Amino acid sequence: MSLKETLKHESEDLKSLKKVYETIAFLALMVLVFQQLFYLVVNLINYGKNNFFSTANFASANLQGFVSRIVGINSNSVIFIILGILAWLAYYAALYFLVWRFAGKRDMSKWTWTLFVAFGPTIFLAPAFIWFILFAFRYEIFGVYKKVVEDYKNGKEAPKQKEPEENLKSE
């Protein structure tokens, strides 16, 4: 499928509102991504105007931590700002391959999971790898959760474990 056909198919899916949460996730993701782009571009422009002034405000709060750390190495150098932008682009390329395509091949909620993995750390204060683990292993996690709930409803208890006996020697 060509890029044009893929974009047309995605836009039709989002406009059809079959899955309203997908449309909302898409809109939220786009707002947050454009906010990041806005801060990156505006602060890069301001850097060009005021290169004698520290551009520590280049890394806004909603950027990924590693992008802020790259820029923070030397925020007075345009090279580190460009490296930060390249790291930002690499992050979204990785999200595309690891989350969006993975979800698309398995007929899952692509936009919702991409939003949670990309901005879950910022919104819910949980590390990105936690969101990816929840995303990748959700069937197994919820399968275990379902089994525990069913066992609890049926009155089954976990098997009692024998406590280790201490070997006490009498003196």
**What's the pLDDT tens digit per position in 94-106?**
888 888 888 888 8
Digit-coded pLDDT (tens) for 128-143: 677 777 777 888 888 8
Within-domain flag for 169: no
What b/e sequence results for 150-161 when a residue is b if at least 16 CB atoms lie within 10 Å of its CB, and e otherwise?
eeeeeeeeeeee
What pTM value is reported for the model?
0.59
DSSP 8-state secondary structure symbol assigned to residue 106: T
Distance from C-alpha of 40 to C-alpha of 113, rounded to nearest angstrom: 24
Residue positions counted in the chain: 171
Structural domain that includes position 34: 3-153
Question: CB atoms < 10 A from the CB of 27, how many?
Answer: 13
Backbone angles phi, psi at 134, to 5 degrees: -60, -40
Within-domain flag for 143: yes
Within-domain flag for 112: yes
Angle at 73 between CA 70 and CA 78, to 5 degrees: 80
Residue-level pLDDT at 157: 65
What b/e sequence results for 64-95 when a residue is b if at least 16 CB atoms lie within 10 Å of its CB, and e otherwise?
beebbebbeeebeeeebbebbbebbeebeeeb
117 burial via Cβ count (<10 Å: 0-12, 13-18, 19+): buried
Within-domain flag for 160: no
Q: How far is CA 105 from CA 96, 99, 109, 124, in A?
A: 12, 10, 10, 27
Within-domain flag for 165: no
Within-domain flag for 161: no
Within-domain flag for 59: yes
User: Mean pLDDT per segment of 10 residues, for the chain of length 171 residues?
Assistant: 74 73 81 81 67 50 72 76 86 87 83 80 71 80 86 72 60 51
In sequence order, which ranges of the chain are alpha helices (DSSP H)? 3-16, 20-49, 65-73, 78-95, 101-105, 110-124, 128-136, 138-153
Within-domain flag for 171: no
Domain count, the chain: 1
